[in-house]
Amino acid sequence: MFNMPELIAAIILVSSLSGIGVIIYRKFSQLLELPETSLVQLNWKGKLAEAKDFSLWKDFSFEIFLQKILSRIRILTLKTDNKTSTWLQRLREKSQKDKVKEEDNYWERVKESTRK
């Protein structure tokens, strides 16, 4: 029915799902006891802050965002350029070695052709 890797994967899947179920079952009662905190949140300093005053877009600057995006694109472009340069250098070295090998075989081919 099952081969060995499929059987092991099925056992791991079933045990993982049952473990998740046990954890959820144990913590469900604690989750129900938690109070609802829709109006009050903790900010990053650990102080209480009103949820309606909290805004991610308050200090947003499009120019800084654009600078960050462009600098990341530049870094990605430089990394890509460096990688392609490395590949190109390896290809040149390989073709140079192949050319040297071909020149080494030239004299052997000339000798063989003169013998015939």
List C-alpha distances in Å: 79 to 17, 43, 70, 73, 76: 42, 38, 14, 10, 5
pLDDT for the residue numbered 39: 44
Domain limits of the chain? 56-115
Q: Which amino acid is residue 2, in one-letter code?
A: F
- The neighbouring-strand residues paired with 41 are 49
Q: How far apart are CA 73 and CA 83, in angstroms?
A: 15
pTM: 0.39
| Phi/psi of residue 4, nearest 5 degrees | -60, -50
How would you write the pLDDT of the chain (116 residues) with one tens digit per residue?
A: 668 888 999 999 999 999 999 998 888 878 777 776 544 455 555 555 544 455 566 677 889 999 999 999 999 999 999 999 999 999 999 988 887 776 677 777 888 888 86
